[in-house]
Each structure stands twice: as structure tokens, then as C-alpha cells.
Structure 1
Amino acid sequence: MKRALSSFLLKALGWRVVVTLPDYPKCVICVAPHTSNWDFIIGKLAYLSIGRFAGFMMKKEWFFPPLGALFRSMGGVPVSRDRRTDMVSQLVAIFNERERFAIAITPEATRKPNADWKKGFYYIAQGAGVPIVLAYIDYKEKRVGIERTFTPTGDVEADMRAIKSYYKDFHARKPENFITGL
């Protein structure tokens, strides 16, 4: 039901989903560009339309009744953003506890212009020993794609340049807010 409804809604809105990668049991999904709240809706619909389910990180403060149950059912993972708490360790622990887990993370970490992409998604994948799936939302083409896997090499700076380079030609909903810094 979710798959059919998601597919119907995307098609009605003129979107298409292009997927060439297998459904990995565990992965970190790096999603860019991220300049609008619509990115979450389009991305969630796209992933559901192909019969896959991915979690997303959200501040633990939002997980109060009754919203907490709703967010968890949608894949929300409460994380503490306290400076004393290591989000990477929290997520690696979840990967280690579960047989199947995919989490979508926007490295820009904001919808505003930000060339300094966060590297947490990279360290989570590296720590959990899982692939990074590079997913994009291209508003100009009205296309959501899941077409490339990236395996961290350990050279964080070179890997981040390669990841940013992959995304540089995709079109954000608010193009003025999408910066790779390349």
C-alpha cells in the first residue's frame, strides 16, 4: 500500500525515480542537495516507492508523546546533539545491533548555503563498515536517483572532494542555497 501510494503521488507530481543499486541490508544514504523541507517529503516518497525503508536522524527532543511514536514509525532515530554525546558512536551502535538498517543523512546539515559539509555520515559508514549510497534529488529534472555507491578510503578530505564532485551538477529546489565548495 505504501509503495503504490508513494509511486502514485510522485508520478502525479511529475517525479521519476532512477535506481541502479541493490537494496543493501545496511548502508548510510548520503542525500544532496538539501535546500528545502520538500527534500524530506520527495526523498521519503521516492524510497518508499521502490519498496525500501530508511531511517533519518532527528533531535531527541522531538520524540515526546505522541510525536515520538509517529517519528519512530517513519524511521526517525532520536539522537542527542549534546556536545558530550558522540552521534557517530550512537549510529554505529545501532548498525551493530540491527540485522537491517539504512539511514539517510544530508551532509550539508542545513537548508542554507553551506560549503562545509559535515563528515558524520562518512565516519558512521566507516565505523559500521557499511557502504555510502549517494542519493540525489534533482528539481530541474524532477528526478530522484540512487545510482552510486561510495566506499570510504580513509582519506577523508579526498573522499569528501569526490563526493561533493558527484553532486555538483544536480539542481536543488533553491539553487542559491546549494554549495559544494569545489
Structure 2
Amino acid sequence: MQRTIFNTPIVTPILRQLARLMLKLHGWRVVADRQALELKKYVLLGAPHTTNWDGYYFILTALKLKLVPQWMGKDKLFAFPLGGIMRWFGGIAVDRSKANNLVEATITQYRQRDSLVIAVPPEGTRGAAERWKTGFYHIARGAAVPVVCGFIDFPKKEVGLGPVMQMGENLAAELARLGEFYAGKIGKFPQRYTPPV
């Protein structure tokens, strides 16, 4: 298993304590669906995504909940000198010239591992977009894993894991279902949020 900020002996337990302290000092509450905490493989959505602060609170939350999330990125992001840092923060390099695309490469990663949580910001950007990118849906369907609704809500100062959802055959229906959950979650800059539908 790849060593990351979330599973490095000696270092990670210290970071978990620091994460708990920072969340408390910031006045944030972490909530988590019990079923999500028991899963070993799933696609973790991260929404709304309207600021770089989302990543900061995501890392603190993952540390507190003892999650080991990873994310997929083009292999160019992992070149020297930042490659080691990117991997330590959970990055998995993907050579897109050898795989059909990032979706297929990610599905392959799920099939090859006993446990894997891939974090995906479905909006694809911190700014307003036209619609959610649907790669997460195709990954979940292709790898036969559920989607867990990771969320952040700045007015309530809440962050965590929402419901576990199995993705059905109807993409529009699943986006509508996700939209219902995320409708009550507000990012730091609400005007930048892109709803699923």
C-alpha cells in the first residue's frame, strides 16, 4: 500500500491529533454516515467545491475519520521535484497514453486493490461550471462500487460523509438524487457552486 499523509506510521497518528485540534479551534463539526465508515471501496464525492479551503478541511476530516483517500492525476503532475509530495498527499499517477481515459484507468485501480477510496470533486473546478462532470458515475458503475457523498457546509461549519449511494442505470435520476442531498450544503462562495442538474 502506498504511504500517504493518511497512513504513515508515527506521523499520521500525530497528524490525526493535530487535525482534531484544528477542527475544534476552527469550530467545525465532523459528521459521518456509519455505513460509509465501514466501506473499503467507494468513490468519495467532494462538494460543494468553491474554494481551496475545501481541501484543507477535507484533509483534516479524512485524518480525524481515519480515512485513506486518494485521487487520480496525470503522470505529468508527478514529475520531479513535486512527485513525492503529490504521492504523499494521496495522488496516484495515471499514464493516460496507455489507458483509454482516466475513468478506465481508475476502474482498473479499483479492480486491482482490496481497498480504495478515490476522492472526486464532481464540479471539476472551484468556479461556476455548466454542469457536474460525470466521470465519478461511470467509475462507480464500472468498478461496481458505491458513491459516498462527502460534503462541506460553511454556514453550519459541518464537514463529513453523507449517505452511501449505489449508482443505478439512469444517470439523470442519479444526478437528481445527488442534487437533493447537496441542495442543503452551502460552500464558502455559494455563487460558484455548480449543482449536479
Give the equivalent residue in structure 1 for 2:52.
37
Q: Is the 8 A contact 2:132 2:194 kept in 1?
A: no
Sequence identity percentage: 33
The whole-number CA distance in structure 2 between the counterparts of 1:115 and 1:51 is: 34
Give the equivalent residue in structure 2 for 1:63.
78
For residues 17-32 of structure 1, what are the structure 2 equivalents within 5 Å?
17-21=30-34, 22-32=37-47
Shift of 1:11: 1.2
Shift of 1:71: 1.1
Give the equivalent residue in structure 2 for 1:76.
91
The whole-number CA distance in structure 2 between the counterparts of 1:39 and 1:78 is: 22
Shift of 1:80: 5.2
Q: Which runs of 5+ in 1 are unaligned?
A: none
Give the equivalent residue in structure 1 for 2:121.
106
Give the equivalent residue in structure 1 for 2:62.
47
Structure 1 counterpart of 2:33, one-letter code: T
Shift of 1:67: 1.1
Which residue, 146, 156, 165 being the options, matches 1:141? Answer: 156
Which residue, 12, 17, 21 being the options, matches 1:4? Answer: 17
Shift of 1:81: 6.3
The whole-number CA distance in structure 2 between the counterparts of 1:72 and 1:87 is: 17
Q: Is the 8 A contact 2:72 2:106 kept in 1?
A: no
Structure 2 counterpart of 1:170, one-letter code: K
The whole-number CA distance in structure 1 between the counterparts of 2:77 and 2:46 is: 22
Supply the RMSD in Å over aligned alpha carbons.
Answer: 1.7
Give the equivalent residue in structure 2 for 1:123.
138
Q: Is the 8 A contact 1:92 1:128 kept in 2?
A: yes
Q: 2:26 aligned with 1:13, yes or no?
A: yes
Shift of 1:136: 0.5
Give the equivalent residue in structure 2 for 1:93.
108
Shift of 1:6: 1.2
Q: Is the 8 A contact 1:35 1:112 kept in 2?
A: yes
Structure 2 counterpart of 1:72, one-letter code: R
Q: Is the 8 A contact 1:165 1:180 kept in 2?
A: no
Give the equivalent residue in structure 1 for 2:187.
172
User: How many equivalent pairs are there?
Assistant: 181
Structure 2 counterpart of 1:119, one-letter code: T
Q: TM-score, normalised by structure 2?
A: 0.86
The whole-number CA distance in structure 1 between the counterparts of 2:110 and 2:167 is: 17
The whole-number CA distance in structure 2 between the counterparts of 1:32 and 1:42 is: 12
Q: 2:178 aligned with 1:163, yes or no?
A: yes
